[in-house]
Amino acid sequence: MVFLCFLSSWSISDFADISNIFIAIFNLFLAGYIFIYQRDKDRASKVEALTIEERNIRLQWFKELIIQPNLNQINTFYSNLHDLEAKFASGTTIDDTFRISISDYIKNESSVLRKSFYDILRSVNSNLHCKIESNIDNLIDNLISQIFNPGLNLNHKPTFNKEITSLISYSKNDLISVIYNYKGI
């Protein structure tokens, strides 16, 4: 009751003054919150921008130091594997000696590519290196397996294309995809 008597002695301007004080305090807290939120958001934006810039620099160095100098070697590797068709189409009898010489040729080409290209990737990104190494190793294993498969007549062009050329093309496409999808992280 005393409280009501106390409030009844106040005028509307007294209530307006008190509400203005509460509004001012609320605005002060809101301004502080907005300031802190914006500062944190700006800090996060700067970190993100620096991360993107660092990633772009890494990608540029990756392109200039690893991909461009070795692009011819990669293309030569796949081109040499596609040239196997001429060796089989020459009418040569496919005996074990011929198969072994082709197998050795494939392994040699793989070794050259490994030494010149994808061993370098280990120092750049071990995951990228593993993916490319796995791609090439699977290709070589599958090619050699197909070459030593006695049930295949690799002198027959459609059979060669289905069993050998398709493996080479898939491997090259996968290699390009892996390199293209590398984000520099």
The model's confidence at residue 8, banded by pLDDT at 50, 70 and 90, is low
Indicate the DSSP class of residue 184.
Answer: -
List, for residues 105-138, the tens digit of each pLDDT value: 999 999 999 998 888 888 888 898 999 999 999 9
Domain borders along the chain are 69-180
Per the structure block, which two tokens stand in for 21? 């004080």
pLDDT at 5: 58
The owner of tokens 């392109």 is 63
Residue 179's CB: how many other CB atoms inside 10 A? 18
Query: Which two three-digit tokens encode residue 174?
Result: 């996968």
Distance, CA of 163 to CA of 49 (rounded, Å)? 48
Nearest to 128 by CA among 138, 117, 139: 117
pLDDT in tens, 62-83: 888 888 898 999 999 999 999 9
pLDDT digits (tens, 9 = 90+) for 10-66: 778 887 888 899 999 999 999 899 989 898 888 888 888 888 888 888 888 888 888
Q: Is the pLDDT of residue 3 over 90?
A: no
Nearest to residue 111, comparing CAs of 84, 133, 85, 142? 133
pTM score of the predicted model: 0.73
Rounded distance, CA 185 to CA 63, Å? Answer: 14
